[in-house]
Amino acid sequence: MSSYFTDLAQQYIDGEWRPGTGSWDIIDFNPYDGEKLASITIATVDEVDEAYQAAARAQKEWADTNPYARRGVFEKALGLIKEREQEITDVIIAELGGTRVKAGFELHLAKEFLREAIHLSLRPEGRIIPSPIDGKENRVYRVPVGVVGVISPFNFPFLLSIKSVAPALALGNGVVLKPHQNTPITGGTLVAKIFEDAGLPKGLLNVVVTDIAEIGDAFIEHPIPKVISFTGSDKVGRHVATVTASHFKRSVLELGGNSAIVVLDDADIDYAVDAAVFSRYVHQGQVCMAANRVLVDRSIADEFTEKFVAKVKSLKVGDPRDPETVIGPVINSSQADALASTVEQAIAEGATALVRGETTDNLVSPSVLTDIPAGSALLHQEVFGPVAFLIPVDGEEDAVRVVNDTPYGLSGAVHTANIERGVNFAKRVDTGMFHVNDGTVHDEPIVPFGGEKSSGVGRLNGETMLDAFTTLKWISVQHGRSGFPF
């Protein structure tokens, strides 16, 4: 594993591994024990430009390559991930503080999305559309946008980089990837290495490890990329949307959430407890789809709460390398401090701590809070960590009202013995995704993924990748002579 953090601690531009030329370094730390993993000299605005120029040069030939030949690269990349699964697992654990369960989950999905990219290479189809003009043939071609800029987050960096990079490449585009500063290897240069070894032509995929303190908006303002695919917070996403729109670019925004899991009065309580604990505490709660809020019908609230609290207390907190660990570290000290402040604020507002977690360095133990005042701002924001808000509700109508009382609309779940009751409930919730009798954290390669309201714009996965990373071009052919009015 150590070689990944030495060999890949560079920029990857135009098929070359080289150091950045910035005046400072990004230091990559293990969030569990503070070990320095890598030091990467940042990329400058000039290097961002070089990366985009390289992608644009390589893209033309790639787009003209037979799609059956293109898909071979993704088949090889899938094989490489399988071969290197243990090493990649170790990198995820070291750089993210992800547990072994989390690493397995992320790698499984990454492989599934690569399998879909193999098929996506052959998916674009054209159409012939009738014309009211005699002798005219209207052809509509689906063509690559050209170059795509991808900005990936720190929580599932390997998966969420591949999720945009692979389909964009499969559809004939060039890509420049900017990983999060906390995960430059897993979310950036490791992805580049896999595609390089899989035989992707030089220049098509570039990785720039940098920071807005150095480059400002250069990555999203650059004239070459026609689409920016961003996954991250709604605050940054709003800025990305504003800048890209002002430059007539398309943006695909997968943003934060404030999801709820709802337990109705006829639910299987034990099963709902399992689903709720997973939905809130998977990867320390650092998941956009995580269930911040656990809504329980008041008639079963006591039994549910007792079982929920008992299960949360049983979760092992500690070294993510330990296979028994469920809760590892959050990504950095700022996140840990923010979570401690969230719990303190809730209690100061009158909330009751059924479980009050402790913070030791970046290890944040789970908390369970209830009696949160209805007007608390905490109920309307995303809490990116292992803090659950238990909220009793008075029946189905009250549950729908509370679920929708948030600026976000990403995911959610409802538990009930009546499937159609659950489906009808889901239809009334303003989210892009909702699940009946399951958890809130799901992603599948051919199902549209995305949110409403402040949770994003656009969709990814399956057919929606065509909308994200290709454009339509109308070419008409006039058979015979056309008539003109003068």
Answer yes or no: 349 catalytic: no
Asked whether residue 38 is assigned to any structural domain, the reply reads: yes
Residue of 95, 196, 288, 396 marked active site: 288
Q: Do residues 169 and 293 share a domain? A: no
* pLDDT tens profile 291-344: 999 999 999 999 999 999 999 999 999 999 999 999 999 999 999 999 999 999
State the burial class of residue 35 (Cβ atoms within 10 Å of its Cβ: 0-12, 13-18, 19+): exposed
Structural domain boundaries, residue 430: 259-436
Claim to verify: residue 213 and residue 126 sit in the same structural domain: yes
- Within-domain flag for 484: no
Of the residues 196, 254, 382, 396, only one is catalytic, namely 254
Instruction: Tell me the pLDDT tens digit for each residue of 243-265.
Output: 999 999 999 999 999 999 999 99
According to DSSP, the residues that pair with 436 across neighbouring strands are 414
Verify that 133 and 42 share a domain, yes or no: yes
Whether 279 and 245 map to the same domain: the answer is no
Residue type, 395: G
Per the prediction, the chain carries an average pLDDT of 97
Q: Are 113 and 73 in contact (CB under 8 A)?
A: no
The answer to the question of residue 483 being in a domain is: no
Give the CATH number for residue 181. 3.40.605.10
Q: Is 288 an active-site residue?
A: yes
Per-residue pLDDT, 282: 97
Do residues 274 and 185 share a domain? Answer: no
> For residue 445, is it within any domain?
no
Same domain for 397 and 468?
no
Residues 345 and 215 in one domain: no
Secondary structure (3-state) at 24: coil
How many structural domains is the chain composed of? 2
Verify that 158 and 278 share a domain, yes or no: no
Residue 128: other Cβ atoms inside 10 A:
10
Neighbours of 354 (CB within 10 A): 18
The pTM for the full model equals 0.96
Assess if residue 486 is contained within a domain.
Answer: no
448 inside domain: no
Co-location of 63 and 212 in the same domain = yes
The answer as to whether 214 is a domain residue is: yes
Say if residue 207 is in the same domain as residue 304: no
In this structure, is residue 296 part of a structural domain?
yes
Task: Label residue 483 by pLDDT band (50, 70, 90).
Answer: confident
